[in-house]
Structure 1
Amino acid sequence: MQVLKRFVYYLKPYWFLIAIISLLMVIAALVNALVPQLVRIVIDDIVYDGSYEQLNRVLFFAACILIIKAGFHWVRVKLNYKVAQFILFDLGRDLTSHLYRLSLRYYERNITGRIMARVISDVNSLQQMIVMGSSQLVEQLLTIIAVVIFIFLMNWQLSLITLVLFPILLVVVIYVSSRMRGTSKEIQKKIGEMAGVLQEAMGGIKVVKSFNRHQRELEKFTDIAQERKKLGVKRGSLIAHLETSVDFTTNITTVLILWYGGIQVMSEQLTVGELASFVTYVQLLFRPIVRMSMLNNILQSGIASLERIYEVFDEVPEVREIENPIDIKNVKGEVKFENVCFSHGTKEVLKNINLTVKPGEMVALVGPSGAGKSSLVNLIPRFYDINEGSITVDGIDIRELTIDCLRRNTGMVLQEPLLFSGTIKENLLYAKEDAKDEEIMEAAKAAHAHDFIVKLNQGYDTEIGEKGVRLSVGQKQRIALAMAILKNPKILILDEATSSLDSESENLIQKALDQLYRDRTTFVIAHRLSTIVNAHRIVVIDKGEVVAIGSHKELLQQDGLYAKLYKAQFSSCSG
């Protein structure tokens, strides 16, 4: 299979350890194949002679061999797990790295829980395939090959009888395996869907409880779990078919050997020891097939997981760097949009945008909800690529810059700031890893976050919980603003950054922002128009187009969309 060929890439670095494991499996298979010969020797050569001394000597030798085999088995299993962990680490790291490179559109199309299932559930499923599935499958296969060679050397007629039902069994195994692989893939898919539903519900647990919709969320989860249960029962049915077929074949073959072997013993063409040895070989031949049928289930689940993992690897990032991109060391911050058009799928979001923002200039973007304001600023750090036109920074098309250069010089404060679990200090260091304590405190003071931070029990070392759940929305927003200040980018984007603050806090932060705006290009999206009246220019956007540009006073005098929005907001505040 193509997916297994691709997986070989992760095996190559550990070929030496895999070679040792393979050698130990060959030794184990040979020892297994020699055990029936021991049965023949004891019955034909020792029991009939009545030699206790020879019996003790042979069994002592056999015990020593089995002890050595047990030691080899211990080494092999240990190496197996070691190699498996190395491979899973490499695969998990590469998969996670690839996910970070994928564009935002991929995450908009896929539920977070399903993505997490690929990284965690599917990767862990491979451990069973590597440790239990592939290695033991190879050992059982080697045992079968060794047994077939031995039985043909002993008695070719009995060997043919032994293998007469083999083709039928092989057809059953191939048929069931193909169906089991598809079922296993569907089961993994359902597990991802279950994780997605659960992650979404747990992430919005307040909304679930406030609308009293826990029963609805439970039903959504249960519906998928019910489908997963049916698939599990179907897979169990396939396993039952396979095991029953193997068990029936083993028993019928044993009966045939006892019948034909008994005839040969009575006609003195075969010894009792050879017949007993042959019956033992039959058990040794079909027992691996039983185990292989079980291991095949693990293997098929692993292959299904591999297919799902490589589906992610096959996702190509929409936003990619060109060959030999440019890295500007001293960005000034001029941003220019020329005839920019942008679409989300078939929906046109921005049309023919032309705008030049000079270094140190503060530009406000205003317009109704859904006008395209956030889409416009999301194009600057290349979260998405435009369909037509160009966006330049300091005269260079952003598609010619390294993504690191572009995003290193761009800072964003969003309407709904997302903080990570950990301490306040760790979140602030996310903006600048090598920041000193003095820098962190200065940034927090500038964002008017320092006062509330020091009042917390652990100060800057206070754990804030997942997504900053232990902080108020306003506190989270001030920390997010402090992160932007600490990063000190040349291009700053504030997307409703002060919308969750009370009037007093907003007034304090507005003073800090006035300082922050200096010597950097700033784009501000604000719902409260009173906060952007001092912007150098206000760009009014409606239905994806720039409909007006000017100062606050100029736009009021034009009595256009901006004036209507401002008067409507002023009237609602007065009322």
Structure 2
Amino acid sequence: MLNEEKSTDSLAFDTEMSVEKAKDTKNTLKRLIKLLFNQKEKIIIVLLFAVVSLGFTMTAPLIFSKAINVIYEGIKTGTFNINFGVIKELSIMLTAIYMMSSLSNFIQQHVMATVAQTLVLDLRKNLSEKLSRIPLKYYDTHKKGEILSRISNDLEKVSDTLQSGMMQFITAVLTIIGSILLMFSINWILTLIAFSTIILGVAATSIIGKRSIKYFANRQETLGKFNGQIEEYFTGQMIIKTFNMEDEAIKTVEASNNKLYSDEKKAQFITFAINPLIRLMNQIGYVLVAALGAVFVIQGRLSIGLIQAFFQYVDQASEPLTEAAYILNSLQAAIASLERVFEILDEEEETKDASNYESISAPKGNINFEGVKFGYGKELIITGIDLEVKAGEKVAIVGPTGAGKTTLINLLMRFYELNSGKIKIDGIDITKLKRGHLRSLFGMVLQDFWLFDGSVKDNIAYSREAATTSEVQKAAKLARADYFIRTLPHGYDTVINAENSSISEGQKQLLCIARAILANTCILILDEATSSVDTRTELEIQNAMDNLMKGKTSFIIAHRLSTIKNADKILVMDKGNIVEQGSHDELLAKSGLYSDIYNSQFKNSVKQ
């Protein structure tokens, strides 16, 4: 993909995108539930074992109540005549119940972990595929760090919450419902007292939960921006130090860090403030239930065992409520993260390839621009270009910064879609070609080179995976890279990575040129391809490029006009349109923009 000098329209679009926020929590939940229903069989298993585990847990207090009543009946007469046979049976029954409950809980947790990881895996796959389908404009208007934050941090938040929080939340809700039903079976008056305090806790949780969603959304958004800044400063350390901007960079990072701290503190405060609030409600309920329960025992309306069981059910209802409140707020954070992930998945994609696509079996490289118009927004940047390039022609594109030179290439390779007009290669409209087939016609060397972590050989062979070692070496020789490669510790097997300082910027550019040579395509694009090499190396590469470009259609974007004097056709661009075209001598004779640019460079070189 090519990096484009952004116009005012592009920058305005960028600002719009960065300010806009999606806050559709209800829709996000619906989409999450829909995704979970793709694994409905596993969800049913989880719910089934949750109910089984809950059934065992709910039974335990009743058995405890029987044991307490047996002991109480044995000692209330003062004879201590306790039926230990019954106690033994009840103890064995309790042990079996707890073992079965633990086994059911283990199974549901294991299956739920599978559900969570499968869902996140699917989201990662969808994101990976989506990022390859969205147009270049998206990357031009979003920071890399922010995109990475959504793919990594936000998805991890979703994964953690689904794996642990959702199952706990489901269990907590079922436990509360089951406990309240059994409390009613013991005594409805005590249940209403306990239930009223639980309702107050639920109401408080709901109110705080609704308000907390914005804090979690702000936290995730701030985290994304913070990661974007860190990524920018890490990659721009040399420039920052060169211009003594360390203090400014530190201040900017500190401001973002403080904002992140503030948003995180608010989100965490909301999360942990609910716990003591609910516990206060629970304690009030305990006092009221204990006082009235004592009266009922004295009156003989309830046994001590049932009062003990009732208190256990109150515990089982109130503790999960506290847990559910905490998890609910964690879910709010996960929803905010998931919303940011869905924003990427909802991005407009590149238009699909035509179903009845054509192909070019023997490409020659004839190119025609017919009434081409393009703009990032409503206002057009390119208002109308008509251009014919014959196969084998060497075309140079020059002009001031922001003139639209790279935009023209982006349109040719269909990184951007035209507003109107047509671009044809060998007489076929490029919109009727599959993008993969279209781009296979091009070899490219950019000003901003790209190399991946791997051997020198693999980096050169990236343009043609089936290339042999001898073909890779031949391409390296043509690019004047073979000599320095052989001086490396392991030659062509030397691994290139970010920490590898034995290869200079210019040498890395030579590897990219060798990669383009190896591709052996009918059309070449050189975007300031020699900008990182010295003058002597540039001359050597220029000679190699002249041989390489024979018989191939070539587009050369250049600022140094001395390198494109021998071009068959020079296009002079200004404000998004071709204002002059012709050979070097023809354009100098016109005394127009090209002449002004050339003479200014010539004067500067003479002064130097």
Same fold per superposition (TM over 0.5): yes
Question: The residue matched to 2:300 in structure 1 has which SS?
Answer: coil
Give me the whole-angstrom Cα distance separating, in 2, the residues matched to 1:565 and 1:234: 57
Contact 1:128/1:298 (8 A) holds in 2: no
SS at match of 1:164: helix
Distance between the aligned counterparts of 1:188 and 1:294, measured in 2? 18
- The one-letter code matched in structure 2 to 1:26 is V
CA contact (8 A) 2:271 2:330 kept: no
1:507 to 539, 549, 555: 539
Separation (CA, whole Å) in 1 of partners of 2:359 and 2:193? 74
Per-residue deviation at 1:320? Answer: 4.6
- In structure 2, stretches of 5+ residues that fail to align are 1-25, 75-81
- Call closer, same or farther: CA 1:240–1:504 in 2, change over 3 Å: closer
Cα 1:230–1:565 shift into 2, 3 Å: closer
Q: Does 1:107 align with 2:139?
A: yes
C-alpha deviation, 1:136, in angstroms: 0.8
Residues 319, 382 of structure 1: 8 Å contact kept: no
**8 A contact 2:366–2:390 mirrored in 1:** yes
Partner of 1:161: 193
Q: CA deviation at 1:440?
A: 1.5
Aligned equivalents of 2:288, 2:371: Cα separation in 1: 84
Q: In the alignment, which residue of structure 1 is the partner of 2:260?
A: 228
SS at match of 1:391: strand
Give the TM-score of the pair, scaled to structure 2: 0.90
Q: Does the 8 A contact of 1:418 with 1:468 survive in 2?
A: no
Q: Could you tell me how far 1:444 is from its partner in structure 2? A: 1.2
Q: Is the 8 A contact 2:530 2:538 kept in 1?
A: yes
Deviating more after overlay: 178-187 vs 465-474? 465-474
Aligned match for 2:577, one of 539, 545, 564: 545
Query: Structure 2 CA distance, aligned partners of 1:544 and 1:157?
Result: 80
What residue is the counterpart of 2:526 in the other structure? 494
Deviation of 1:140 after TM superposition, in Å, equals 0.8
Distance in 2 separating the partners of 1:88 and 1:191: 20
Give the residue type in structure 1 aligned to 2:60.
V
3-state SS of paired residue (1:36): helix
1:40 maps to 2:71: no
Structure-2 residue corresponding to 1:365? 397
* Structure 1 CA distance for aligned equivalents of residues 386 and 554 of structure 2: 17
* C-alpha displacement of 1:222: 1.7
* CA distance in 1: counterparts of 2:145 and 2:132, whole angstroms: 16
Q: Is the 8 A contact 1:342 1:349 kept in 2?
A: yes
Query: Residue 293 in 1 paired to residue 325 in 2?
Result: yes
| Residues 136-535 of structure 1 aligned to structure 2 (within 5 Å) | 136-317=168-349, 320-345=352-377, 348-466=380-498, 470-535=502-567
Identify which range, 254-263 or 463-472, moves more after superposition.
Answer: 463-472
Which residue is 2:79 aligned to? none
Could you tell me which amino acid in structure 2 is paired with residue 244 of structure 1? P
Does the residue aligned with 2:496 lie in a helix, a strand or coil?
A: coil
- Indicate if the aligned counterparts of 2:133 and 2:350 stay in contact, CA closer than 8 A: no
Conserved in 2, the CA contact under 8 Å of 1:413 and 1:481? yes
The whole-number CA distance in structure 1 between the counterparts of 2:585 and 2:342 is 57
Cα shift at 1:467: 9.4
> Is 1:20 matched up with 2:52?
no
How much does 1:574 deviate?
Answer: 3.3
Taking only the aligned residue pairs, the percentage that are identical comes to 34
Q: Distance in 2 between matches of 1:46 and 1:544?
A: 93
Instruction: Tell me the CA shift for residue 535 of structure 1.
Output: 1.6
**Equivalent residue letter for 1:309:** V
**Which residue of the partner structure matches residue 10 of structure 1?**
35
Equivalent position amino acid for 2:179 in 1: V
Tell me if structure 2 keeps the 8 A contact 1:556–1:563.
yes
Aligned with 1:379: secondary structure?
helix
Q: State how far apart, in whole Å, the 2-side matches of 1:467 and 1:328 are.
A: 42
Q: Report SS of the residue matched to 1:354.
A: strand
After superposition, what is the alpha-carbon deviation per residue over 1:430-457, rounded to whole angstroms, capped at 9, x for unaligned?
2122222222112111211111111100
CA distance in 1, matches of 2:46, 2:600: 76
- Say if 1:245 and 1:434 are closer, same or farther in 2 by CA, change over 3 A: same
**Which whole-Å CA distance do the structure 1 matches of 2:537 and 2:322 have between them?**
71
> For 2:92, which of 54, 60, 66 is the aligned residue?
60
Deviations along 1:176-226, one digit per CA (max 9) or x if unpaired, are 111112111111111111101101000101112222222222221221221
Distance 1:188 1:499 in 2: 39
Tell me whether 527-536 or 357-366 shows the greater mean CA deviation.
527-536
Alpha-carbon distance in 2 for matches of 1:551, 1:437: 40
Contact 2:53/2:100, CA 8 A, preserved across alignment:
no
Deviation at 1:427, TM superposition (A): 1.8
* TM-aligned CA distance change 1:368 to 1:458, over 3 Å: same
| Counterparts of 2:576 and 2:319, CA distance in 1 | 69
Contact 2:57/2:98, CA 8 A, preserved across alignment: no
Q: SS in structure 2 opposite 1:540?
A: strand
Q: Distance between the aligned counterparts of 1:468 and 1:346, measured in 2?
A: 45
2: CA distance between counterparts of 1:75 and 1:186?
36
Alignment-mate amino acid for residue 14 of structure 1: Q
Decide whether the 8 Å contact of 2:53 with 2:102 is kept in 1. no
Closer/same/farther in 2, CA of residues 115 and 470 from structure 1, 3 Å limit: farther
Three-state SS of the structure 2 residue aligned to 1:420 is coil
Q: What's the TM-score once normalised by structure 1's chain length?
A: 0.95
Deviation at 1:502, TM superposition (A): 2.0
- Per-residue deviation, residues 456-478 of structure 1 (Å, max 9, x unmatched): 00212222223976522211111
AA in 2 matched with 1:447: A
Mapped partners of 1:155, 1:28: distance in 2: 24
CA–CA distance in 2 between the matches of 1:298 and 1:70?
25
Q: Distance in 2 between matches of 1:69 and 1:443?
A: 68
**Matched residue of 1:430: which SS?**
helix
Query: What is the rounded CA distance, in whole Å, between the counterparts of 1:468 and 1:483 in structure 2?
Result: 19
> How many Å apart are 1:512 and its aligned residue?
1.9
For residue 56 of structure 2, what is the amino acid of its counterpart?
A: V
CA pair 90-569 structure 1, distance change in 2 beyond 3 A: same
**Which consecutive residues of structure 1, in runs of 5 or more, have no partner in the other structure?**
none
User: 1:10 and 1:205 mapped to 2: Cα distance?
Assistant: 42
Q: 1:343 to 1:30 in 2, by over 3 A?
A: same
Alpha-carbon separation, structure 1, partners of 2:204 and 2:198: 10
How many residues align? The count is 575
CA distance in 2, matches of 1:103, 1:115: 14
- Letter in structure 1 aligned against 2:336: A
What amino acid does structure 1 have at the position aligned with 2:270?
Answer: L
CA distance in 2, matches of 1:470, 1:77: 51
Compute the displacement of 1:13 (Å). 4.0
* Worse-superposed segment, 252-261 or 229-238: 229-238
- Could you tell me whether the CA contact under 8 Å between 1:319 and 1:384 is conserved in 2? no
Cα distance per residue 1:40-93 (max 9 Å; x no partner): 111113552412232122212211221232233333323332332222111112
CA displacement, residues 121-143 of structure 1 (integer Å, 9 cap, x when unaligned): 00000112211221110011111
Q: In structure 2, the residue corresponding to 1:392 is in which secondary structure? A: strand
